[in-house]
Amino acid sequence: MAGSNFVDYVKIFARSGHGGAGSAHFRREKFVAFGGPDGGDGGKGGSIILQGDRQYWTLIHLKYQRHQFAEDGECGSGARSHGKDAKDIILPVPLGTVARNAETGEIVGEVTEHGEQLVLLKGGRGGLGNWHFRTATNQAPRYSQPGEEGAEGAFILELKVLADVGLVGFPNAGKSTLLSVVSAAKPKIANYAFTTLEPNLGIVEVRDGHSFVMADIPGIIEGAHEGKGLGTRFLRHIERNSILLFMIPADSDDIRKDYEILLGELTQYNPELLDKNRILAITKCDMLDDELIEEMKSHLPDRVETVFISSVAGLNITKLKDMLWSALHE
């Protein structure tokens, strides 16, 4: 993956700012003998915040900014002058970013909408000045409140691509070719396994000006959930998809068996993936005649809607888009 601009996993260390201390100041004027306390409050420390931005598709900008330190709030001063709040550090992240504590593995939250904010570390509160502590029996308090300390910690940011349809299949099953035909995306296409090494997104237009987002996920092999091939690195992107489009080439030795292997890998990774709608596309069907297609139908998996397509010849591509659009709105 050297040289790739697609980064979907990054670990950062962040520290929020300390709150400024309150002031223990007294009013001093020429003709005011007992001015009383007038110490101002300290400013708030800077927070570390993630903010969703639809213009971002990768976490590469954080790969080289792994240390994020917010500034401290300013201390209060006389005349009840409050210290200045420190500026928050707002980190733009692509939609679908999940943040988890690096030590405990606990999920802190996720960002799925444009402009949505997730506070990783809250800045310390500023301390109160001595003006707040005056009472009838203590009219000249000589103490103030110190600022609250900030927090620090390591966080893992993971990107789960947001797409309506995810393409699932073995390497070289024709996923990238389909995406290049139905959208303006230009994924790398070649006749060898693992041509796709990073997810590619494309916007697919259907009838009446409607559209949906399709994601080309790097190929899965048997044992992927155990780390074989590209392992589970990209399986998490499938979790966000509403529809799973399984793609198996027509020259497969056993389409039913290949489908069960793919389904088994997804189940081993996350059983909840079985709840998603599934459609099976038999690819590279441009060399098949109608008689052979009818014969192959008896060897297809049960309980899954199937369509025979050819991305190169355009066979049933419109039908496939209509099926996906209908499934998205069930």
Comparing CA positions, the residue from 299, 30, 267, 43 lying closest to residue 148 is 43
Q: Are strands 97-101 and 107-111 parallel, antiparallel or unpaired?
A: antiparallel
Identify the residue with better confidence: 302 or 151.
151
Q: Give pLDDT, residue 279.
A: 92
Which helix H or strand E contains 266, and what residues bound it? helix 255-269
Predicted TM-score (pTM) of this structure: 0.68
Give the residue range(s) of CATH 2.70.210.12 domains in the chain: 1-159
pLDDT (tens digit, 9 = 90+) per residue, 265-278? Answer: 888 888 888 888 89
- Cβ atoms of 130 and 142 within 8 Å: the answer is yes
pLDDT (tens digit, 9 = 90+) per residue, 115-129? Answer: 999 999 999 999 988
Residue 197 structure tokens: 């090494």
Q: Give pLDDT, residue 6.
A: 67
- Cβ atoms of 219 and 246 within 8 Å: the answer is no
May I ask the CATH class of domain 165-328? alpha beta
Residue 42 structure tokens: 């300290």
Residue 95 structure tokens: 């939609």
The sign of the dihedral angle between the CA atoms of 40, 149, 86, 113 is: negative
| DSSP summary character for residue 26 | B
Query: Does 134 score more than 90 pLDDT?
Result: no
What value does the mean pLDDT take over residues 145-156?
92
198 pLDDT tier (thresholds 50, 70, 90): low
Q: Give pLDDT, residue 1.
A: 38
Give the residue range(s) of CATH 3.40.50.300 domains in the chain: 165-328
Residue 159 structure tokens: 């990107």
194 pLDDT tier (thresholds 50, 70, 90): very low
Buried-state track 124-138, b at ≥16 Cβ within 10 A, e below 16: bbbbbbbbbbeeeee
* Residue with token string 């993630």: 50
What value does the mean pLDDT take over residues 284-291?
84
Phi, psi of 37 (to 5 degrees): -70, 140
Architecture of the domain delimited by 1-159: Distorted Sandwich (2.70)
The total of other beta-carbon atoms located within 10 Å of residue 322's CB is 14
